[in-house]
A and B are shown apart, each in its own frame.
Chain A
């Protein structure tokens, strides 16, 4: 069964760091484009970062220079390293599999809550 499971969500202080992981099962993480999408409390979905099957990486302007997307082929996981966190980064973070060209993600995790507070 194709499945994504996020972990690593937590409460962190402003300026701190956190690493989210997305455990992949049912397919090989390196064979697909993957992405992170977030939803702040009471707000809509926001695209955060994506990585193509050929390892080209993209970021939303709001996280560029602070977040790093990566994947570990040996552990079959996708990660998001988040540094210099701000209050506005507070959100549920979803990992997703699919196509970056039309943001068509056919498989999503259940999400991990990141709360940034002073």
Chain B
């Protein structure tokens, strides 16, 4: 059971927009910035978002994120079939003095 809660799966059609939620608490999302990752099985995870809403160079602006209180949201616009992957939120937890990941959300682009 993960400290950060994500929906197990989401799906949408090509061209549409999808959002993935990440719910935490005051000791993690409520007091630290959030990162988001895209992970294709068998490969290295890719950083999509850091510092709540910042994109590393090379990440298209189709990927966006926001945070409010103890929840964060990743948005992916203009879905492409190649976007189908597992997505994870992550942050630091002050109570655990450790990093934490969400359980992951599998995105299916229909």
Most buried by B among A35, A59, A60, A102: A102
A35 to B47, CA, bound (A): 14
Q: Which of A59, A94, A110 contacts B98 (CB 8 A)?
A: A59
Interface residue ranges of A31-73 to B (CB < 8 Å): 35, 37, 44-47, 50, 58-61
B64 within 8 A of A: no
User: In the docked arrangement, what's the CA distance between A81 and B103, Å?
Assistant: 26
Contacts A/B (CB < 8 Å), 16 sampled: A37-B45, A50-B98, A50-B99, A59-B98, A61-B98, A94-B45, A102-B32, A102-B33, A102-B51, A102-B90, A102-B91, A102-B92, A103-B35, A105-B45, A105-B47, A108-B45
Query: With A60-B98, A102-B92 given, is the CB distance from A45 to B37 under 8 Å?
Result: yes
7 closest cross-chain pairs (CB), A and B? A104-B50, A47-B99, A102-B33, A108-B44, A103-B90, A44-B104, A104-B35
> Could you tell me how many residues of chain B have their Cβ less than 8 Å away from some Cβ of chain A?
30
Interface size of A by CB at 8 A reads 25
Are B96 and A61 neighbours in the complex by a CB distance under 8 Å? Answer: yes
Contact B103 A44 (CB under 8 A): yes
Binding site for A on B (CB under 8 A): 2, 32-35, 37, 39, 43-47, 50-52, 56, 86, 88, 90-92, 96-104
Q: How far, in Å, is A100 (CB) from chain B's closest CB? A: 6
